[in-house]
Amino acid sequence: MNKDLWLFGYGSIIWRTGFPYIERRAARLSGFVRRYWQGSHDHRGTDAAPGRVVTLIAENDGHCDGAAYLIAGENVEAVLDGLDYREKNGYERRKVKILLSDGERLPPDLDRLVPTAAVTYLAPLDNHAFLGAAPMEDIVHQMRCSAGPSGTNLDYALRLAESVRALGGRDAHVEAVGDKLRDCAPC
């Protein structure tokens, strides 16, 4: 039997979990920032018009706030198999250390968070769908009207910004993209 496993979610997994879990807590991953640098050909765009979704980019002084899910040992294999398929467009499963809160929101005093082993999915810079950095206007233009089987890129961006705030986290990049998209003319 597998041991229970913590999974760190920093994108749509925060609000569209799609797997059974024992508990959910707010968490922080240090040494990475969340950026809209990954192409989405399979969820929030198409091959002809890919959307943009978030991935983690290494940054020494950075951090990424998200949600951690404790998965029961008997479900670990099935959950990871499902996520391997869901995150197939360039993402890889990685072991990380997260700071785990004792509730659904990050406390103001982060010094009391407990470091915990977890897994997460990130898109390496050399993957086939990696789009990389771009001016904010280009990111927003690409995302504004993109849509795929999982919905619109606009919905993804707005729900992500809302979900990070609900966890008590902050993410200037996600907030800026969401604000710009909110101000765009509809498609």
| Residue of 23, 74, 77, 87 marked catalytic | 87
Q: Is 77 a catalytic residue?
A: no
Which residues, in sequence order, are CB contacts of 147 under 8 Å at separation 6+? 44, 45, 51, 153
Please tell me the distance from the alpha carbon of residue 15 to that of residue 171, in angstroms, as a whole number. 16
Distant-in-sequence contacts of 76-79, Cβ < 8 A, 24+ apart = 76/2, 76/3, 76/4, 76/5, 77/2, 78/19, 79/7, 79/19, 79/20
Hey, which residues are catalytic here? 87
